Amino acid sequence: MPQHPTVDLSAFPPGFRWSAATAAFQVEGSRTADGRGRSIWDDFVDTEGAVRDGATAEPGPDSYRRHRQDVALLARLGVDRYRFSISWVRVQPEPGGPVAQAGLDYYRRLADDLLEAGVTPFATLYHWDLPSTLEARGGWLDRDTAHRFGEYAEIVADALGDRITHWYTINEPVSTSLQGYAVGTLAPARQLLFGALPTVHHQLLGHGLALRALRASSATEAGIVNNHTHVRAASGSDADVQAAAVYDLLHNRIFADPILTGAYPDLGAFGIPPMPVVAGDLELIGAAADFYGINFYNPTTIAAAAAESPVRFEIVPTPGAPVTGFGTEWPIVPAALTDLLIDFRERYGDRLPPLVIGENGASFPEPDRVDDAVADAERIAYLAGHIAAVGDAVRAGVDVREYTVWSLLDNFEWAEGWTQRFGLVHVDFDTAARTPKASFDWYRGLIAGARA
């Protein structure tokens, strides 16, 4: 039998939570079932050439019809919580329009089955699937979208709050703003560069409005989750250090500062236009949350860009780092997660609520069809290294309460289609057959060991 890495669990206090995650568009399938509306990701996958392998997210894991298989896997895994997302267009096909009871019934069944299995449902209100009709009106560039999101949050909280009391509001606003609106590699595929910055403020405003709606319901725990990266300068030169500071501002601080301090960083000092703030916005955005969620995959090494570049930074390979299936875009440096968590504690101090690792995982090349468990030793090493890195941060005094593996299942990896597999469970994308990998059993053993 192969020897897999072990993790010193002594740093993790009693009650530390272990979780796994998915997202609606990536696993549900059934894009046209029960009156579901269209989202920007439906538009993206239907655009020729947008998705690397032409995948359309159908049927994929088919969780809309097979969610009980997923719940059984979660129970077998032994997780405390399951992070899943609720599809806005499955619940409210047209913003401002009637509610689709069939969509709400699906999430009721999912939550009930999770609770019966002893797994706490931890739902995300928004994981990138903006209704197409809102995008046609400007999407997150338009302030009104934040208000429509607040209304949707109220609908979901009122309908499901008797079953679901733990909530993420918005997932990774940085990815929507930078990849979706600034450079166009994700839906809605706009290429606005710094013209995308209003989407930052409007997503954060949407978070504040959703948090208020959840507080008015029965929520016992709610907060936002963002993708953060530890930014490193490619060299000690003034140009590289300054470029790294700009990137850190755009990827990390412009999102975290308003949530955690109630104010944006000094954008003018970096030549960045001000945010479209209206009186009262920052009070909503900076309202105290129960946790702050951090998704982490890799550090980012930054060099100064060439003089003719429209931006002042360039992402370059991280020297000496092994990589995931994404290549040099995703270097593997577990210690960077420790550094990031400590940086958050030092930067925000008493204003920092407990932290939750909302996603962490890696994709590696794997076969489309299997007869037995995939021996995914590279994934196990990645997870072990990063869980150990969280433990190091806890030892250094950072209040981290939960760790979440991305992902429970192989799923539709956005613009990469079916070409990147993150799951603890292998999925045959033609038949939706599920086969736990070696990493599934490894994580199950780790969870059991943590509770021993």
Q: Is residue 59 part of a domain?
A: yes
> How many domains is the chain built from?
1
Report the DSSP pairing between strands 300-304 and 231-233. Answer: parallel
Q: 271: helix, coil or strand?
A: coil
Encode pLDDT of 196-223 as tens digits.
Answer: 999 999 999 999 999 999 999 988 999 9
Q: Is residue 1 part of a domain?
A: no
CB 321 within 8 A of CB 333: yes
Q: Is residue 367 part of a domain?
A: yes
Quote the pLDDT of residue 1. Answer: 40
Encode pLDDT of 157-190 as tens digits.
Answer: 999 999 999 999 999 999 999 999 999 999 999 9
Distance separating alpha carbons of residues 20 and 36, to the nearest angstrom: 26
| Residue numbers of the domain that contains 99 | 17-451
Quote the pLDDT of residue 3. Answer: 62
Give the global pTM. Answer: 0.97
Distance separating alpha carbons of residues 260 and 267, to the nearest angstrom: 17
Task: Tell me which DSSP letter residue 409 carries.
Answer: B
CB-facing half-sphere around the CA of 333: CA atoms within 13 A: 23
Catalytic residue among 48, 58, 116, 172: 172
Please check the confidence at residue 2 and state whether its pLDDT lies above 70. no
Backbone φ and ψ for 179, nearest 5 degrees, come out as -90, -35
Beta bridge partners of 19: 81, 404
Beta bridge partners of 303: 314
Q: Is residue 2 part of a domain?
A: no
Please check the confidence at residue 4 and state whether its pLDDT lies above 90. no
* Residue carrying the six token digits 């079953």: 163
Q: Which residues of 388-422 are buried (b: 16+ CB within 10 A; e: fewer)?
A: bbbbbbbeeebebbbbbbbbbbbbbbbbbbbebbb
- Cis-peptide, bond into residue 59, ω within 30° of zero: yes
Report the DSSP pairing between strands 313-316 and 300-304. Answer: antiparallel
Distance separating alpha carbons of residues 406 and 166, to the nearest angstrom: 18
Encode pLDDT of 292-344 as tens digits.
Answer: 999 999 999 999 999 899 999 999 999 999 999 999 999 999 999 999 999 99
Q: Is residue 261 part of a domain?
A: yes
Distance separating alpha carbons of residues 320 and 317, to the nearest angstrom: 9
CB-facing half-sphere around the CA of 403: CA atoms within 13 A: 27
Q: Is residue 89 part of a domain?
A: yes
* 359 carries an active-site annotation: yes
Q: Is residue 40 part of a domain?
A: yes
Task: Quote the percentage of the chain above a pLDDT of 90.
Answer: 96
Q: What is the CATH number of the domain that holds 69?
A: 3.20.20.80
Distance separating alpha carbons of residues 166 and 225, to the nearest angstrom: 13
Beta bridge partners of 233: 302
Catalytic residue among 359, 378, 402, 413: 359
Q: Is residue 381 part of a domain?
A: yes
Average pLDDT over residues 405-424: 98
The set of residues, in sequence order, having a beta carbon less than 8 Å from that of 68 and lying 6+ positions away, is 113
For residue 2, the one-letter residue type is: P
CB 377 within 8 A of CB 2: yes
Encode pLDDT of 112-136 as tens digits.
Answer: 999 999 999 999 999 999 999 999 9
The set of residues, in sequence order, having a beta carbon less than 8 Å from that of 319 and lying 6+ positions away, is 301
Average pLDDT over residues 268-275: 91
| CA-derived radius of gyration, the chain | 21
